[in-house]
Amino acid sequence: MASSSKSTTFGQLVIGPPGSGKTTYSKAMSTFLESIGRKVIVVNVDPANDDLCYKAAIDVSELITVQDAMLHMHLGPNGGLVYSMEYLLQNIDWFLQKLAKYRDHYVIFDFPGQVELYTHHESIRNLISHLESAGFRLCAVHLVDSHYCSDPGKFISTLLLSLTAMLHLGLPHVNLLSKMDVMHQYKDRLLFGIDFYTDVLDLQYLLEALDEDPFSKKYRKLNAALVSLVEDFSLVTFLPLNSKDQKSLLKVRSAVDKASGWVYGQGEERSVQQLLACAVGAETEQERIGDLKDSLMDTDDGDNR
């Protein structure tokens, strides 16, 4: 770890909509990191998650649950979750004291799936500020379900969600298209090759696809403005994720370590091979998505724009 007056603890915030695979990813990535010798813990920051598939070193449910908030504050599920996150901030010392026991560990924070927490509500951003003040160096890992690629309108929504979360949280950010292992179920509905959805280069093709829908065509100006917003920032790209595939986890690990600066930390030995694996541009397009492209698309190159 990097030496400083305050010791640095590295970690990642696993965020994304409900059902995008955050808990599954947290377990898979923690297991993978342990297998390569990294000391790692998973922290459950979702007070509504009562069915963990991993052993949480710290569980926010020990402090508050959404059910408790709903019962005692007479709130619905969404209001209960927002209240729970605000309650966690009010008791931030409890949380930081728990984390202080694991300062020599890499930390994976498994966050709730309510998207407004990452787009405009201040609770998560304030929590990040507390963690950074306590010496954490973090990277946001944003998961979205890959099946949204099969619908142009939903994919535009995914792009906007990813961009908004990136700008709101202000962290190094890695976007993932999750559940790629089941993407073959939707391959007949994909209009383009998988590299179109991961690279996010020319979104005008999406507008053309939306024009084929009479309902969507009425809102072409709005759709064009949204697409232009994403293209103007040029910030959103995706890595494909299959949590069951170690090669996929390795690529995500490399991207996250590079984004957070963990790979450049002092005081920990890194082989030349490890540094090269994380270097910018060290991976060819074929190495990154070639297998996925071959398995998902049967059409000619001319149809995969």
264-293 pLDDT tens trace: 764 344 443 454 455 444 454 455 555 555
Instruction: Please tell me whether residue 230 adopts helix, strand or coil conformation.
Output: helix
Asked if residue 162 lies in contact with residue 175, where contact means CB atoms within 8 angstroms, the answer is: yes
Instruction: Please tell me whether residue 106 adopts helix, strand or coil conformation.
Output: strand
Q: Which residue has the tokens 């984390």?
A: 99
Q: How many CB atoms lie within 10 A of CB 224?
A: 15
Tell me the C-alpha distance between 56 and 42, whole Å.
5
**Is the model's pLDDT at 130 over the cut of 90?**
yes
Domain residue spans of the chain: 9-267, 271-298
Helix axes 152-169, 204-211, angle to 10 degrees: 140
Residues 6+ apart with CB under 8 A from 68: none
Q: Which residue has the tokens 């504050």?
A: 73
Residues 6+ apart with CB under 8 A from 200: 159, 230, 236, 237, 238
pLDDT above 70 covers what percent of the chain? 85
Q: What is the pLDDT of residue 10?
A: 95
In single-letter form, the type of residue at position 152 comes to P
pLDDT above 90 covers what percent of the chain? 61
Select the more confidently predicted residue: 214 or 173. 173
Handedness of CA 174, 178, 184, 189 (dihedral sign): negative
pLDDT digits (tens, 9 = 90+) for 40-67: 999 999 999 888 899 999 999 999 999 9
Q: What is the pLDDT of residue 198?
A: 92
Q: What is the pLDDT of residue 146?
A: 93
Asked if residue 292 lies in contact with residue 240, where contact means CB atoms within 8 angstroms, the answer is: yes
Q: What is the pLDDT of residue 6?
A: 61
pLDDT digits (tens, 9 = 90+) for 101-112: 999 999 999 999
CA distance readout (Å), 146 to 20, 156, 194: 9, 13, 10
Residues 6+ apart with CB under 8 A from 191: 152, 205, 209
**Is the model's pLDDT at 86 over the cut of 60?**
yes
Average pLDDT over residues 187-210: 87
Residue 109 is inside which H or E element, if any? Answer: strand 106-110
Select the more confidently predicted residue: 270 or 83. 83
Q: What is the pLDDT of residue 1?
A: 41
Tell me the C-alpha distance between 50 and 69, whole Å.
15
Q: What is the pLDDT of residue 3?
A: 38
Select from 31, 50, 51, 104 the least CA-distant residue to 42: 31
pLDDT-wise least confident of 120-129, 146-155, 248-257, 260-269: 260-269
* 87 band by pLDDT with thresholds 50, 70 and 90: very high
**Is the model's pLDDT at 299 over the cut of 70?**
no
Select the more confidently predicted residue: 135 or 297. 135
Question: What superfamily does domain 9-267 belong to in CATH?
Answer: P-loop containing nucleotide triphosphate hydrolases (3.40.50.300)
Instruction: Please tell me whether residue 175 adopts helix, strand or coil conformation.
Output: strand
Asked if residue 170 lies in contact with residue 124, where contact means CB atoms within 8 angstroms, the answer is: no
Asked if residue 28 lies in contact with residue 143, where contact means CB atoms within 8 angstroms, the answer is: no
pLDDT, the chain, mean: 85
Tell me the C-alpha distance between 32 and 26, whole Å.
10
Select the more confidently predicted residue: 299 or 243. 243
pLDDT digits (tens, 9 = 90+) for 6-42: 678 999 999 999 999 999 999 999 999 999 999 999 9
Q: What is the pLDDT of residue 217?
A: 76
In single-letter form, the type of residue at position 173 comes to H
Instruction: Please tell me whether residue 163 adopts helix, strand or coil conformation.
Output: helix
Q: How many CB atoms lie within 10 A of CB 5?
A: 5
Rg (CA), the chain: 20
Q: What is the pLDDT of residue 265?
A: 67
